[in-house]
Chain A
Amino acid sequence: MAQRVDPTFMKSLEKFGVKDWKDCFHCGNCTASCPLTEEDYQFPRMVIRQAQMGLKDKLKSNLDLWMCYFCGDCTKTCPREANPCEIMRSIRRFQISAYDWTGLSKKFFTSTTWELSFIIGIGVIVLALFALFLPPSPELWTNPALFLNEQGGVMINNMVESISGPQFVKIIEYGDWTMAVVVGGLLISNILNMFYLTLLKDKSLHIPFTAYFTEFWKLIFHFSTQDKLRKCDDKSYWVGHVLLMTGYTIMFVIIVGLLPKFQIEEIVPWYNWQRLLGYYATIGILVFLIPVVIGRFKKKKCKLKHSHPTDWHFIIMLGLTAISGILVHIFRITGMPIATYISYVLHLAILVPMIMIEVPFSKWSHLAYRPFAIYFAALKKAGVEKEKVEPTPAFA
C-alpha cells in the first residue's frame, strides 16, 4: 500500500497531547527498555517514526499502541527527553478518534468546548426530563414524614406524585436500558470500525476462521485481569485499576440488569448483597481515583505528569458520580427526603453524560479497545502465520 509522507501530520497530533515529537533521534532506547514490547509488536520508536512521517493509515491500523500500558520506563531513560510514553498515549487518543465513525470523538479530544458542552447538554436533558415527567411531589416540603418508611429511611421510589414505586423503578430501568443500548451500539460499531481498520482493510491478511474462537479467551482474560498492566507497572497501580474496573462493572450490571432488586424501599442490613456490592464499587472507584487525582496534581510520576483536558473531565465526572451516589445513600438511610431526591437526580445527571460521552467517544473507551486490540493482534498473528508472510517491513 503506497503511502504519502506527510510531515504536517504531527502538527495535527499536537491537539491530542503530543508535545516533544521533534526531539526523537531514533536511538532505539525506548523500544529496548520497554518490558512489554515483543518481537511482533514493537513500540514506541516505530510508532513515533510512523507519526513523524505522517503515515496516517499505518497508525490507524497499528495495534501495537494498545500493547503499551504506560509504565514510563522509556521516558525515564530517553536520551532526548522526548517522552515516548506520552507520545504513545496521545497517539492512542488519535486512534480512538479514528475508530469513531461519527467524528464526535475527534471533536471531544481536540476541543474542550465541544466535550464540555455535550456533557453539560446531556446533563441538562436529564434534569429537564426529571422536571417534566418525574417532578418531586409538593408534599416533600410540606410533609416529609410521609415519605419515610417504618425504618425511618426515605422511600426513594415514591417521591413522585401519582407514580407508584414499581412504576418509578420501571421508568428508570427503561431509561437505563435505552442508555445501555445507545452506548453499547456506538461502542460496538466503533469496535467493528477498529476491526475494519486494523484487520479487514489489509487485503493480504487471511485470518483462519477457527482463530476467532481459539483466540477469544484472550479478550475475556485481558478484559478481566488487565494482565499486561500487571507486568508493566508497580503492583499497587494494577490492584487499584482492577478494583476500579470490577467496581464499575458491578455497578453497571446492577443498574442495567438488577435495578428493581437494587433500588428498593426497605433499608436492608449492611451485610445484604445490595449494600455490600455498592460499597465495594464505591471503595473500588475511590481507592483508585484519589491517588490518581493527587498524583496528577503533584506531577511527580511519569504516568501522571501530563494531563489532557479529557483526563480531567473523566476523573471529575467519575468522582462526582461516586460522591453523589454516596450522598443518595446517606440521605436515604438517614431519612432526608428532599436531599435524597435532589442528590438522586444530580447523580443521574452526572452519570448519564459520563457514560454517554466517555464510553463510546472518549477516554473510557479504552475499556473495550485494549482487550480487543490484544484479540485482534492475536488474530493478525494467526493470519500472518497461516500465510507465512513476513510481517510488514519496519521503517528504519
Chain B
Amino acid sequence: MNKKDLIGIFFNHPGNGQISNINYDELKSYVSSFNFVKKVWDSDDSPLLDRSLMVSEIQKIGITRLVIVGHDTGMVKAFFNSVFKYMGLPVEDVLLADFREHGALERNDTELAKAILVCAIYNVPFEIAAKPGTSDVCADTLVIGGGISGIQASLEIADANQKVFLVEKTGTIGGHMAMFDKTFPTLDCAACILTPKMVEVGQHENIELMTYSEVQDVSGEPGNYKVKILKKARRVDISTCIGCGTCSEKCPSKAFSEFDAGTTLRKAIYIPFPQAVPNKYLIDAESCRHVQGKKCGVCVKVCPVPGCIDLDQKDEVVEITVGNIIIATGFKVFDPKRAEQFGYGKHPNVLTSLEFERLINAAGPTGGNITYRTKDKKGNWVFTTGGDVPDTVAIIHCIGSRDENYNAYCSKVCCMYSLKLAHLVKEKLPDAKVYEHYIDMRAFGKGYEEFYERIKKEGIKIIRGRTAIVESTNGKLIIKSEDVEKGKLLEKKVEMVILAVGLEPTDDAASIAKMCGIDVDGAGWMKEVNYVSDPVNTLSGGVAIAGLCQGPKDIPDSVAQASAAASRVLQNILKGKVSKGISSLTFSDIEKRARELSTIKYD
C-alpha cells in the first residue's frame, strides 16, 4: 500500500473531579504543525461519541491512523477500536498516548506530555525513544543527612563493601529519632534501636563520617558527581579529643540545647548528647565568647590534650567525587508561634510534642519526671526535677497540619505519636487526666489501630474536635473546644498543653534539591519519579531520596525507603553504569529519535 498515512488525533480530557494543568492548547498547536494530522477532536467538544458519525467523518478525510491522547485514554479506546473494525482498518493503528503512564500528569509537565504524544504519533514506544544514556559510575556514594534514613542507607551500602560519605549538618548523627523517648506502636525505646546503628556508622570502615558539614555544591554528571562539602569549623580536633568534658564544665557561656528542643541549656563547647557519634566536643560559634570577640579561652587552658582545641579554626571546603547521591535531609517541626491562638511562646506550659518527648525522656531536663514549668529565682520558666506535677494534660492534634492557613497536608505521624505521648503520661502519672483533641484519628499502619484501641482503654479521654483557643487565667491554662460527637462546648482548665505539631521540609531542602537537579512540590517536599511505582529514584540519574525529605512518614517507612534507596545505588554500582535520568533528555532529542526509529512514513 503506497497510500500515504494520514492521522487523526483525539484529545481526551481528564474526567470529573480530576485536575490537570497540562496545556492542551499547546499540544494542539504543536500537532497542527504536522501536515499529515488531518483532524483533531476534543472530548470537551464531543462528550458523546457517535459511531456512525465518526465513521463517516474518518472515511471522508481518509484517516488511516488514530492517536488517543490525554488522560484515561483506555476508556475511549474500545470505541475507536470498534470504529476501525467497522471500517476494516487494523485496530493496531489506534494508538494511545496516556499522560498517566510516564508521570506527565502527576508533574503537570506539558513538555513530557508532548514527548509522549510524538512517540505515539510515530508509533515508537516511549521507553525506547526516550531512553536516557548511561554513564560510568564512580563506586563511592554520598549520603546527605545523618538521621535514621541516612544511617540506614549508609549502613546498607557500606555493608555491601562500598564506600560511603555521610554528611551531617549538626555535630552528631542521629537526627530526630535520637530525641524521641519511645517509638509507636511497640513502645520500644528509640535510643535502644538507634544508638547501636549510630555506633556502627561511627566505626564502619567503609563510612567516612563528616559531621558539622554541609553540601555546598554539586556539579558533574550522573555517575561522576563532584561535590563540594563545607566542613564548618568544629574548633575541636576530633582525632585527639578524648571526650573528657573538662572544657564544657568550665565554659562560661550557655545556649539552649538543640538536642533537648530548647528545654535545657548547654555550654558553648558541648557534646550534643551523651551517646553522640562522634562522641567528641564541638564549639558553637554563636555562643562562644572567644569567637564573638570577647576575652575567653578557658577551654583551651583546661583541655588536657595540647592542641586539641583551636578557637581560631576556619571553615574548610573539601571536594569529593561520588557516583551516586542519597538525599535524606529529613524535616523540621512546625513552629507553633505562627498559630497564635494556641498560645505557644506566650504561656510557658504550652509545649510542642518534641519538647515533651525530651521532658518525658529519662535523659531529659527532669530525668523523665513530668513536671510543668515554674519560675526560677531569676524569673525564667524552667523544668525542675522536683517540680510540680500536672494533673491534667491536653494534647491538641493537627497543629500546622490539615490547615489551609499553614500546611494543607496531613503530617501522618502526629496522631500516633500523640497517642504514644498520652500513654506515656498515663504510665508515669496514672492519676492524671489526659485529653486528646483530634479532628480525625489516623491510625494507618501495622498494629496502629490496635494501639489506638489499647490507648482508648487506658482511661484517656479522646475527644473529637480540635481545640480552637488556648488561654491562660491565674496561671492555669484554659482550652476551648467543641466535642463534635456530643455537640457540647468544652472549656477545660488544664495544667499542660502539648501541641502535636506537624512536619515541614527543612530550610535547606530546596537548595539541596536544586543542587542535585530535582524538583520540590508545592509544600517543599522532594519529588520522586513516581510516588506509586518509583518512590525512591528522582529525575536526576544517580540521585535517590529517602525518608522525610520526600514527605511525612514514620520511622518504619523511612527505614524501608532508605534500604530501597541503597539498593538502587548498589544496582548502579554493580552494573557499573548509571542512567542519566530522563531530565537529561530534551523534547527535541526524543522527537528526533522517535522520527528516526519510526517505521511509518508520513510525508
Residues of A whose CB lies within 8 Å of any CB of B are 25-33, 37-39, 42, 45-46, 77-81, 393-396
Q: How far is it, in angstroms, between the C-alpha of A37 and the C-alpha of B465 when the chains are bound? A: 15
Q: B488: which A residues are within 8 A, CB to CB?
A: 39, 394
Q: B464: which A residues are within 8 A, CB to CB?
A: 28, 396
Q: How far is the CB of B228 from chain A (nearest CB, A)?
A: 42
B482 touches A77 (CB 8 A): no
Q: How far is the CB of A113 from chain B (nearest CB, A)?
A: 31
Q: How far is it, in angstroms, between the C-alpha of A396 and the C-alpha of B487 when the chains are bound? A: 6
A77 touches B341 (CB 8 A): yes
- Which one, B128-136, B168-176, B396-404, B588-596, is touching chain A? B396-404
Closest B residue to A74 using CB positions: B468
B487 touches A394 (CB 8 A): yes
Q: A25: which B residues are within 8 A, CB to CB?
A: 402, 439-440
Contact of A32 with B404 at beta-carbon distance under 8 Å, contacts A38-B489, A39-B489, A393-B487 already known: no
Q: A39: which B residues are within 8 A, CB to CB?
A: 488-489
Q: How far is the CB of A9 from chain B (nearest CB, A)?
A: 20
Q: How far is the CB of A311 from chain B (nearest CB, A)?
A: 25
B405 contacts the other chain (Cβ, under 8 Å)?
Answer: yes
12 cross-chain CB contacts under 8 A: A27-B484, A31-B482, A32-B468, A32-B480, A33-B341, A33-B468, A42-B487, A45-B484, A77-B341, A77-B468, A79-B398, A80-B404
Q: How far is it, in angstroms, between the C-alpha of A45 and the C-alpha of B481 when the chains are bound? A: 12
Q: How far is the CB of B413 from chain A (nearest CB, A)?
A: 18
Contact of A32 with B487 at beta-carbon distance under 8 Å, contacts A25-B439, A80-B404 already known: no
Q: How far is it, in angstroms, between the C-alpha of A33 and the C-alpha of B480 when the chains are bound? A: 7
Contact string, B369-398, partner A, CB cutoff 8 A, digits 1/0? 000000000000000000000000000001
Closest B residue to A34 using CB positions: B468
Known: A79-B402, A394-B487. 5 other contacts (CB 8 A): A28-B483, A39-B488, A80-B404, A395-B487, A396-B464
Interface centre among A26, A28, A37, A78 (most CB of B within 10 A): A28
Q: A46: which B residues are within 8 A, CB to CB?
A: 487
Q: A80: which B residues are within 8 A, CB to CB?
A: 404
Contact of A396 with B484 at beta-carbon distance under 8 Å, contacts A27-B398, A27-B439, A42-B489 already known: yes
Q: How far is the CB of A91 from chain B (nearest CB, A)?
A: 18
Q: B489: which A residues are within 8 A, CB to CB?
A: 31-32, 37-39, 42
Q: How far is the CB of A377 from chain B (nearest CB, A)?
A: 16
The interface residues of chain A, by DSSP majority, are classed as: loop
Q: How far is it, in angstroms, between the C-alpha of A209 and the C-alpha of B500 when the chains are bound? A: 52
Q: How far is the CB of B274 from chain A (nearest CB, A)?
A: 40
B418 contacts the other chain (Cβ, under 8 Å)?
Answer: no
B405 touches A42 (CB 8 A): no
Q: A395: which B residues are within 8 A, CB to CB?
A: 487
Q: How far is the CB of A22 from chain B (nearest CB, A)?
A: 12
Q: How far is the CB of B305 from chain A (nearest CB, A)?
A: 55
Q: How far is it, in angstroms, between the C-alpha of A26 and the C-alpha of B402 when the chains are bound? A: 12
B467 contacts the other chain (Cβ, under 8 Å)?
Answer: yes
Q: B485: which A residues are within 8 A, CB to CB?
A: 396
Q: B487: which A residues are within 8 A, CB to CB?
A: 42, 46, 393-396
B231 contacts the other chain (Cβ, under 8 Å)?
Answer: no
Q: B235: which A residues are within 8 A, CB to CB?
A: none
B465 touches A27 (CB 8 A): yes
Other-chain contact of B484, A28, A78, A79, A81 (Cβ < 8 Å): A28
Q: How far is the CB of B501 from chain A (nearest CB, A)?
A: 14
Contact string, B458-490, partner A, CB cutoff 8 A, digits 1/0? 000000111111000000000011111111111
B486 touches A29 (CB 8 A): no
Q: How large is the interface on B (under 10, 10 to 19, 20 to 34, 35 or more residues)?
A: 20 to 34
Q: How far is the CB of B358 from chain A (nearest CB, A)?
A: 27
Q: How far is it, in angstroms, between the C-alpha of A45 and the C-alpha of B464 when the chains are bound? A: 13
Closest A residue to B438 using CB positions: A27
Q: How far is it, in angstroms, between the C-alpha of A29 and the C-alpha of B486 when the chains are bound? A: 15
Q: How far is the CB of A50 from chain B (nearest CB, A)?
A: 11
Q: B402: which A residues are within 8 A, CB to CB?
A: 25, 79
Q: How far is it, in angstroms, between the C-alpha of A177 and the C-alpha of B215 when the chains are bound? A: 84
A77 touches B481 (CB 8 A): no
Closest B residue to A396 using CB positions: B485
Q: How far is the CB of A78 from chain B (nearest CB, A)?
A: 8
Q: How far is it, in angstroms, between the C-alpha of A286 and the C-alpha of B134 when the chains are bound? A: 76
Q: B439: which A residues are within 8 A, CB to CB?
A: 25-27, 79
B486 touches A394 (CB 8 A): yes
Q: How far is it, in angstroms, between the C-alpha of A81 and the C-alpha of B482 when the chains are bound? A: 18
Q: A29: which B residues are within 8 A, CB to CB?
A: 466, 468, 482
Closest B residue to A395 using CB positions: B487
Going nearest first, the 4 A-B pairs with the smallest beta carbon separation are A394-B487, A28-B465, A28-B482, A32-B468
Q: How far is it, in angstroms, between the C-alpha of A27 and the C-alpha of B403 when the chains are bound? A: 11
Q: B484: which A residues are within 8 A, CB to CB?
A: 26-28, 45, 396
Contact of A27 with B466 at beta-carbon distance under 8 Å, contacts A42-B482, A394-B486 already known: yes
B486 touches A77 (CB 8 A): no
Q: How far is the CB of B38 from chain A (nearest CB, A)?
A: 43
Q: A393: which B residues are within 8 A, CB to CB?
A: 487
| Residues B402-421 near A (CB distance < 8 A) | 402-405
Contact of A79 with B404 at beta-carbon distance under 8 Å, contacts A28-B468, A45-B484, A396-B485 already known: yes
Q: A33: which B residues are within 8 A, CB to CB?
A: 341, 468-469, 480
Closest B residue to A31 using CB positions: B482
Q: A28: which B residues are within 8 A, CB to CB?
A: 464-466, 468, 481-484
Q: B404: which A residues are within 8 A, CB to CB?
A: 78-81
Q: B339: which A residues are within 8 A, CB to CB?
A: 77
Q: How far is it, in angstroms, between the C-alpha of A80 and the C-alpha of B406 when the chains are bound? A: 10
Q: How far is it, in angstroms, between the C-alpha of A167 and the C-alpha of B599 when the chains are bound? A: 101
Q: A30: which B residues are within 8 A, CB to CB?
A: 468
Q: How far is it, in angstroms, between the C-alpha of A259 and the C-alpha of B405 when the chains are bound? A: 55
Q: A81: which B residues are within 8 A, CB to CB?
A: 404-405
Q: A396: which B residues are within 8 A, CB to CB?
A: 464, 484-487
Contact string, B136-151, partner A, CB cutoff 8 A, digits 1/0? 0000000000000000
Other-chain contact of A45, B480, B482, B490 (Cβ < 8 Å): B482
A32 touches B398 (CB 8 A): no
Contact string, B481-516, partner A, CB cutoff 8 A, digits 1/0? 111111111100000000000000000000000000
Q: B468: which A residues are within 8 A, CB to CB?
A: 28-33, 77
Q: How far is it, in angstroms, between the C-alpha of A45 and the C-alpha of B484 when the chains are bound? A: 9
Contact string, B337-366, partner A, CB cutoff 8 A, digits 1/0? 001010000000000000000000000000
Q: How far is it, in angstroms, between the C-alpha of A31 and the C-alpha of B467 when the chains are bound? A: 10
Q: B341: which A residues are within 8 A, CB to CB?
A: 33, 77
B480 touches A79 (CB 8 A): no
Contact string, B189-221, partner A, CB cutoff 8 A, digits 1/0? 000000000000000000000000000000000
Q: How far is the CB of B21 from chain A (nearest CB, A)?
A: 21
Closest A residue to B480 using CB positions: A32
Contact string, B152-176, partner A, CB cutoff 8 A, digits 1/0? 0000000000000000000000000
Q: How far is the CB of B141 from chain A (nearest CB, A)?
A: 41
B405 touches A32 (CB 8 A): no
Closest A residue to B401 using CB positions: A79
Q: How far is it, in angstroms, between the C-alpha of A241 and the C-alpha of B481 when the chains are bound? A: 30
Closest B residue to A46 using CB positions: B487
Q: How far is it, in angstroms, between the C-alpha of A31 and the C-alpha of B464 when the chains are bound? A: 13
Q: How far is it, in angstroms, between the C-alpha of A32 and the C-alpha of B488 when the chains are bound? A: 10
Q: A37: which B residues are within 8 A, CB to CB?
A: 489
Q: How far is it, in angstroms, between the C-alpha of A394 and the C-alpha of B490 when the chains are bound? A: 14
Closest A residue to B479 using CB positions: A32
Q: How far is the CB of A30 from chain B (nearest CB, A)?
A: 7
| Residues B433-473 near A (CB distance < 8 A) | 439-440, 464-469
Q: How far is the CB of B471 from chain A (nearest CB, A)?
A: 11
Q: How far is it, in angstroms, between the C-alpha of A46 and the C-alpha of B465 when the chains are bound? A: 12
Q: How far is it, in angstroms, between the C-alpha of A31 and the C-alpha of B486 when the chains are bound? A: 13
Q: A45: which B residues are within 8 A, CB to CB?
A: 482, 484
Contact string, B311-324, partner A, CB cutoff 8 A, digits 1/0? 00000000000000
